[in-house]
Chain A
Amino acid sequence: MSLNLRIGVLLVALFLLIIVIHVLKKGKIPIKYSLLWFISILILFLVSLVPNTLMLIADIFGFEVMSNMIIGVFLVILLFISISLTIIISDQRQKIILLIQEISLLKEKNNDK
């Protein structure tokens, strides 16, 4: 794995870490959602800092070039985040529907009086 690539991944990881901590401090994302990002960032750090162990893993999974595995890792992280977001959105949708129904029922009740 080339030094340039390792530095690149490291910088991306650092950049993400700064952003996540920043929005977390401002209270823009809840702690439980930030965990997902911290795990993703940790994986990126590992990729950049201990590439030798990763070479081994790359071999096992049949990646011929290390950089392909990095892309693969990114892809898996993104897919995982996408699924999490879909779950979160669906959950919120359910809650919004409930709110709309209950508010509408309440409004009807109040108009009756």
Chain B
Amino acid sequence: MKILVIIPAYNEEANILNTVKSVLKYNKKYKTNYDIIVINDGSKDQTGQICKNNQIPVIDLIQNLGIGGAVQTGYKYAKNHNYDIAIQFDGDGQHDVTYIKDIIQPIIDNKADMTVGSRFIKKTSNNFYSTTMRRLGINVISFVIKLVTHKKIYDTTSGFRACNKEVINIFANDYPIEYPEPISTVDLLKQNYSVEEVPVLMKERVAGKSSITPFKSAYYMINVILAIIIRGSK
């Protein structure tokens, strides 16, 4: 089974090498051979160069596209190279590589078309749940998705996910550029594909800075809700 780890990265020179190395270590430990493709989303720093210097497969987007456009490039690559499973894994070091096996298991077992690594479905102490406001926002989005698709997804903004070949093809052709995480979930559910959540822990950012501000969050919320309702009513 051919499995690809898609790692989108924008200005992640401080994290990218560790992220990739963690996947390589995982390969060694579990005797797997997952391929890696870093999507360098037009970074202004040395992200692309670091990858090249360390012989890490990388696609340098010639312009910055944002997370949606970057990830879709990864799915196109997965489709072109005939991968069976694609895993989305952030380049900023927030995702924990040890959960990859949990995330792809339902796909291998044919129990789900896409899995989402979720921080919220199983309470585990001492981990990164993110701030109260962010959680509130995620809950609201979760509620709207439930209204539209009748399926409860708890961690709607998680970028740690895996999908099978069929979904790779769908995403390669049509992937939401705006608010990709919640919207792609809605799209799949609306087309009667199964989406399952898998409990994972996430770490806080190791280095670099998150770009989220309160105003941006409110703006994000309004847009996401609107987008879910519109995509959902298609």
Q: Which residues of A contact B (CB under 8 A)?
A: 94, 97, 100-105, 107-108
What are 29 A-B contacts defined by CB distance under 8 Å? A94-B177, A97-B65, A97-B69, A97-B177, A100-B61, A100-B63, A100-B65, A100-B69, A101-B61, A101-B69, A101-B72, A101-B73, A101-B76, A102-B76, A103-B62, A104-B59, A104-B61, A104-B73, A105-B59, A105-B73, A105-B76, A105-B77, A105-B80, A107-B62, A108-B57, A108-B58, A108-B59, A108-B60, A108-B77
> In the complex, which residue of chain A has the Cβ closest to the Cβ of B39?
A104
Binary A-proximity of B36-79 (CB < 8 A = 1, otherwise 0): 00000000000000000000011111110100010011001100
Q: Which B168-219 residues sit within 8 Å CB-CB of chain A?
A: 177
The size of the chain B interface, using a CB distance under 8 A, is 15
CB B129 to nearest CB in A, in angstroms, measures: 33
CB A72 to nearest CB in B, in angstroms, measures: 29
Q: Which B71-102 residues sit within 8 Å CB-CB of chain A?
A: 72-73, 76-77, 80
Complex contacts, A102 vs chain B, CB 8 Å: 76
Complex contacts, B177 vs chain A, CB 8 Å: 94, 97
Complex contacts, A107 vs chain B, CB 8 Å: 59-60, 62
Question: What 3 A-B pairs have minimum CB-CB distances, sorted nearest first?
Answer: A108-B59, A101-B73, A104-B61
Chain B binding surface SS class: mixed
Q: How far is the CA of A97 from the CA of B60 in the complex (A)?
A: 14
Complex contacts, B80 vs chain A, CB 8 Å: 105
Listed residue (A97, A102, A105, A107) with the most chain B CB atoms within 10 angstroms of its CB: A97
Q: Are B60 and A100 in contact (CB under 8 A)?
A: no
Complex contacts, A105 vs chain B, CB 8 Å: 59, 73, 76-77, 80
CB A95 to nearest CB in B, in angstroms, measures: 12
> In the complex, which residue of chain A has the Cβ closest to the Cβ of B73?
A101
Given contacts A97-B177, A101-B72, A107-B62, 4 further A-B contacts (CB under 8 A): A100-B62, A104-B60, A104-B73, A105-B77
Complex contacts, A108 vs chain B, CB 8 Å: 57-60, 77
CB A52 to nearest CB in B, in angstroms, measures: 44
Q: Which B110-168 residues sit within 8 Å CB-CB of chain A?
A: none
CB B60 to nearest CB in A, in angstroms, measures: 6
Q: How far is the CA of A90 from the CA of B72 in the complex (A)?
A: 18
Q: How far is the CA of A60 from the CA of B214 in the complex (A)?
A: 48
> In the complex, which residue of chain B has the Cβ closest to the Cβ of A97?
B69
Complex contacts, A101 vs chain B, CB 8 Å: 61, 65, 69, 72-73, 76
Q: How far is the CA of A107 from the CA of B77 in the complex (A)?
A: 12
Q: How far is the CA of A107 from the CA of B39 in the complex (A)?
A: 13
> In the complex, which residue of chain A has the Cβ closest to the Cβ of B72?
A101
CB A11 to nearest CB in B, in angstroms, measures: 42
Q: How far is the CA of A108 from the CA of B62 in the complex (A)?
A: 11
> In the complex, which residue of chain B has the Cβ closest to the Cβ of A104?
B61
Complex contacts, B77 vs chain A, CB 8 Å: 105, 108
Q: Are A104 and B62 in contact (CB under 8 A)?
A: yes
Complex contacts, B73 vs chain A, CB 8 Å: 101, 104-105
